[in-house]
Structure 1
Amino acid sequence: MPALRAFDAEGFLRDTWQKRPLLIRNAWRDWSNPLEPDELAGLACEAEIQSRLVRQPKPGRWDLEHGPFAPERFAALGDCPWTLLVQSVDHHVPEVAALIEPFRFIPDWRIDDVMVSYATDGGGVGPHFDQYDVFLVQGLGRRRWRVGRRCDNTARLLPHDGLRLLAEFEQVDEWVLEPGDILYVPPGFAHDGVAVGEDCMTYSIGFRAPSRGDLVSAFADHVLDRLGEDDRYTDPDLAPPENPGEISADALARLHDMVTGALADREAFATWFGAYVTEPRDERLDWAPEDEVTAEDLPSGPVSLERNPASRFSFIRQGEDAVALFVDGRTYRCSGPAADAARKICADTQLELAAETIDDPAVAELIVDLVNRGCLAVSEPG
């Protein structure tokens, strides 16, 4: 997928990112819809793929069904407007995964997935707001987007078991998107998309934003798992208190240090976060070879590598010539040529390593492990 046409990424991040919605007309010179509606319906019939169906049997009412769906379900939906939403389509369709590439001016660890929706005329999921950034790429047909003001957790919602729909929606802007147009919506901004005509397809490229509560809870659990039973409060300099019912300032300071000290290790947090943020969303897209490969199985010349689209790759610098590479929740300490290879793997979804690079034992060991785990596929250069 080529870069966005006449798009200033630095200016966008400075002036627009997480600040205001933005309409980008005709973002590519030659837009081509990467997925047919029938293919999306086929994905929604597969048990390992998360999908939802939202119907509007009458105005102001939304009915929600969860997949997988029987193929005949789509022929029995009647004349009411409906929308099919399929999650993580980029994990299964390379052409959809390619949509992420133009948006990699945002760090990979922030990228969540590409959700694809198909709607009949008048179909939508109702006015709502999300807690994450999203680029809404119009793939096929037309969709009218109304955008409102920024919301928070005090916004009043309609009663619904599965959809967080706003009870009140005040429109600020409105646009009709054509194929190849993009609407960027920052976190919290109310928005409502309705299909204009049949065969409306939208690709939602979403970005993760972990909450403070999720981070604290997950990191605290990680720290707790590593604390020893004998790591306990001590007070070897204890003096008789004036009042035995008082919790002294000295005791509070010691106790507070026990808690905050366990959480304050910046290096431990970095290592934990790299593994945490690359945990795979879905481990069912398995590229692992039937028979494990060894370094001797690698080609003797340049090696072409392709990343599993369901795998997550990130790294943290650790000095001038070393990195910690994180792939699907596992940590690899790399230095020298292996660090160079790790950075290249994180930079490119498809890459080639020179023969002299693969000859390095640490590089070969890294590649072999990633191939055997199904994170990479290797083949002779074409």
Structure 2
Amino acid sequence: MDVNAPLALLGGLSPQQFMRRHWQKKPLLVRQALPGIMPPLDRAALFDLAGSADVESRLVVQQPGGGWRVRHGPFARRALPPAKQPGWTLLVQGLDLHVAAAHALLSRFRFVPEARLDDLMVSWASDGGGVGPHLDSYDVFLIQLHGRRRWRVGRQRDKTLVDGLPLKILANFQPEHDWVLEPGDLLYLPPAWGHDGIAEGACMTGSVGFRVPSDDGLARELLQRLAQSDEVDGRLYSDPQQPATTTPGAIPEALQAFARDALEALVNERGALARALGEVLSEPKPRVWFEGQADAPAWQAGQGVRLDAKTRMLYDSEHVFINGDAFDAGGRDARLMQRLADERCLPARDCKLLSPGARALLADWAASGWLHAEEAA
């Protein structure tokens, strides 16, 4: 992707201009960003997908009198309200992992780093359906796929929530904009902008969301990964100079220093933190499963490869990461593997340039279902 070329998706802005002017700064409404767009799947197929245990789904129903009811899937079709009943919404997360057209739609937004890109959620709402005025902690692109939805949007200074509800609904929502989106329209919202989307008739909306690690959560995951590293030497504490004590409940200062040194050594091990970060960021979601092909060779020399839609592949200057695993990489192998991560495919002519060890990795990944063979053009 040429990040300096204008995109109709972004209203004529280039990705570089969009990131500089709007990303995490201010909203952008683009009329007919995707003219002639068709939903990645129809209503019946979306409802069927919500019945799968491998798919995260939610049902939100606005009850008479202003109450709300939220249930989590999987849902049998008969468990969903009638389509003509107003005021309910079905949300299906991670549609890009299951539907090729949804994966292709999400791929249009890969001008944002893959480590931040999360998934495509699709919601179907009956007339009046929505999830109430709320805030997201992440950036979001809202794509109108079918029907019409009214969005009220505003910078939210008062973040007080209504007590006693199963949804995080703003108590004092103050909209600044009121827009009706039609099929093909796109609305980008930065974090912490309040928004309330209400279906005008039955409608379907796509939501491109982004990963937002918290510092404490990421630190815990990194420490867990570092502690599991094979490079940890497992040095044992010793205290030959420990005197007899009259305060046995007190933690010895030498043991406290040993703990500090152990943690610093763990974090400062050369390359260990970068390796752990890549492993954490490339880890698939908990409900992701791959279909291995161990019974027959899934990839052979002379074929190209493409990553499975569920695969997360990243890299840094010394490693490539795929689905939570890390591999050292340098030279031509590193450049080709980085191209595979960036473009999610590698033609046969480039696969032939890989070293025998790197080609063996591709074969292992193909057998695990992480990537698939493509015949040479």
> 1:267 deviation in Å?
2.1
Determine if contact 1:90/1:114 at 8 Å carries over to the other structure.
Answer: yes
Alignment of 1:152-191 (within 5 A): 155-161=160-166, 163-191=167-195
Determine if contact 1:83/1:124 at 8 Å carries over to the other structure.
Answer: yes
Greater mean deviation of Cα atoms: 14-23 or 69-78: 69-78
CA distance in 2, matches of 1:43, 1:334: 39
CA distance in 1, matches of 2:251, 2:362: 56
CA distance in 2, matches of 1:80, 1:225: 51
Q: Which residue of 2 aligns with 1:243?
A: none
RMSD of equivalent CA atoms: 3.2
Q: Taking structure 1 as reference, are residues 286 and 220 closer, same or farther at Cα in structure 2, changes over 3 Å only?
A: closer
State whether structure 2 residue 214 is matched by structure 1 residue 211.
yes
CA distance in 2, matches of 1:369, 1:381: 20
Alignment of 1:300-315 (within 5 A): 300=302, 303-315=303-315
Q: Which residue of 1 aligns with 2:145?
A: 139
CA distance in 2, matches of 1:233, 1:148: 60
Using the size of structure 2 for normalisation, the TM-score is 0.86
Q: Which residue of 1 aligns with 2:24?
A: 18
Alignment of 1:160-309 (within 5 A): 160-161=165-166, 163-198=167-202, 200-225=203-228, 230-232=235-237, 256-265=260-269, 267-282=271-286, 284-293=288-297, 298-300=300-302, 303-309=303-309
State whether structure 2 residue 155 is matched by structure 1 residue 149.
yes
Q: Which residue of 1 aligns with 2:4?
A: none
State whether structure 2 residue 358 is matched by structure 1 residue 363.
yes
* Aligned partner of 1:74 among 71, 74, 80: 80
Q: Taking structure 1 as reference, are residues 150 and 248 closer, same or farther at Cα in structure 2, changes over 3 Å only?
A: farther
> 1:332 deviation in Å?
1.7
> 1:100 deviation in Å?
1.6
CA distance in 2, matches of 1:251, 1:48: 46
CA distance in 1, matches of 2:75, 2:252: 63
Counterpart AA for 1:342: M
Runs of 4 or more above 6 Å deviation: 233-236, 246-255
Determine if contact 1:151/1:190 at 8 Å carries over to the other structure.
Answer: no
Counterpart AA for 2:297: V
CA distance in 2, matches of 1:190, 1:316: 35
Q: Which residue of 1 aligns with 2:246?
A: none
* Aligned partner of 2:33 among 27, 34, 43: 27
Q: Taking structure 1 as reference, are residues 218 and 234 closer, same or farther at Cα in structure 2, changes over 3 Å only?
A: farther
Counterpart AA for 1:330: D
Question: Identical aligned pairs, as a percentage?
Answer: 36
* 1:286-324 deviations in Å (ceiling 9; x for gaps): 232141538xx6143xx2322111110101113xxxxx1
CA distance in 2, matches of 1:259, 1:333: 24
Q: Taking structure 1 as reference, are residues 36 and 259 closer, same or farther at Cα in structure 2, changes over 3 Å only?
A: same
Determine if contact 1:283/1:310 at 8 Å carries over to the other structure.
Answer: no
CA distance in 2, matches of 1:120, 1:78: 7
* 1:198-249 deviations in Å (ceiling 9; x for gaps): 2x1111110001001101111222334455654448798x99xxxxxx9999
CA distance in 2, matches of 1:8, 1:233: 61
Greater mean deviation of Cα atoms: 143-152 or 164-173: 143-152
* 1:20-79 deviations in Å (ceiling 9; x for gaps): 222122113443332212211111122221111111121522111211111223354662
Determine if contact 1:91/1:285 at 8 Å carries over to the other structure.
Answer: no
Counterpart AA for 1:308: D
Q: Which residue of 2 aligns with 1:353?
A: 348
Could you tell me which runs of 5 or more consecutive residues in structure 2 were left unpaired when the two chains were aligned: 2-6, 244-249
Determine if contact 1:86/1:117 at 8 Å carries over to the other structure.
Answer: yes
* 1:80-100 deviations in Å (ceiling 9; x for gaps): 311010010000001011112
> 1:106 deviation in Å?
0.5
How many pairs does the alignment contain?
367
CA distance in 2, matches of 1:89, 1:66: 16
Could you tell me which runs of 5 or more consecutive residues in structure 1 were left unpaired when the two chains were aligned: 240-245, 319-323
Determine if contact 1:58/1:80 at 8 Å carries over to the other structure.
Answer: no
Determine if contact 1:337/1:357 at 8 Å carries over to the other structure.
Answer: no
Counterpart AA for 1:218: E
Q: Which residue of 1 aligns with 2:336?
A: 341
Alignment of 1:31-42 (within 5 A): 31-42=37-48
Secondary structure at the aligned position of 1:26 is classed as coil
CA distance in 2, matches of 1:373, 1:272: 22
Secondary structure at the aligned position of 2:143 is classed as strand
CA distance in 1, matches of 2:270, 2:133: 41
State whether structure 2 residue 133 is matched by structure 1 residue 130.
no
CA distance in 2, matches of 1:252, 1:70: 55
Determine if contact 2:226/2:276 at 8 Å carries over to the other structure.
Answer: no
Greater mean deviation of Cα atoms: 68-77 or 189-198: 68-77
Q: Taking structure 1 as reference, are residues 351 and 247 closer, same or farther at Cα in structure 2, changes over 3 Å only?
A: closer
Determine if contact 1:345/1:351 at 8 Å carries over to the other structure.
Answer: yes
Greater mean deviation of Cα atoms: 372-381 or 106-115: 372-381
Q: Taking structure 1 as reference, are residues 11 and 355 closer, same or farther at Cα in structure 2, changes over 3 Å only?
A: closer
